[in-house]
Homo-oligomer: A and B are copies of this chain.
Amino acid sequence: MIYSALAERIRNNKPVVLLTVIDGPNLGATLLASPNDSKLDTLGTLGDPELDRVAVRDALGELEAGRTSVRNYGPTGQVTPEDLTDTPIVRIFVESYSPPPQMIIFGAVDFTAALARVAKVLGYYVVVCDAREVFATKRRFPMADEVLVTWPTPVLAKLGDNLGARDAICILTHDPKFDVPAIQGALATKVGYIGVMGSRKTHAKRLERLAEVGISKPEDLDRLMSPIGIDIGSRTPEETAISICAEIIGKRVGRIVPSLSNSDGPIHK
Contact = CB atoms under 8 A, between A and B. Distances in A.
Interface of A: 114, 117-118, 121-123, 230-235, 238-239, 241-243, 245-247, 249-250, 252-255, 257-258, 269
Nearest to A113: B121
A246 B246 CA distance: 7
Contact of A121 (B233, B241, B255): B241
A42 B261 CA distance: 48
Contacts of A247: 232
A233 B253 contact: yes
A233 B249 contact: yes
A21 B254 CA distance: 57
B255 A122 contact: no
A243 to B, nearest CB: 7
Nearest to A237: B121
Contacts of A243: 246, 249
A67 to B, nearest CB: 12
Contacts of A234: 249
Given A117-B121, A121-B121, A255 B232 contact: yes
Nearest to A258: B258
22 contacts: A117-B121, A118-B118, A118-B121, A121-B121, A121-B238, A122-B238, A230-B232, A230-B246, A231-B255, A232-B247, A232-B253, A232-B255, A232-B257, A233-B249, A233-B254, A234-B249, A242-B249, A243-B246, A243-B249, A246-B246, A253-B269, A258-B258
A188 B125 CA distance: 43
A260 to B, nearest CB: 11
A153 to B, nearest CB: 31
CB-based closest 10 A-B pairs: A233-B253, A232-B250, A233-B255, A246-B246, A117-B121, A232-B249, A242-B245, A122-B238, A239-B249, A232-B246
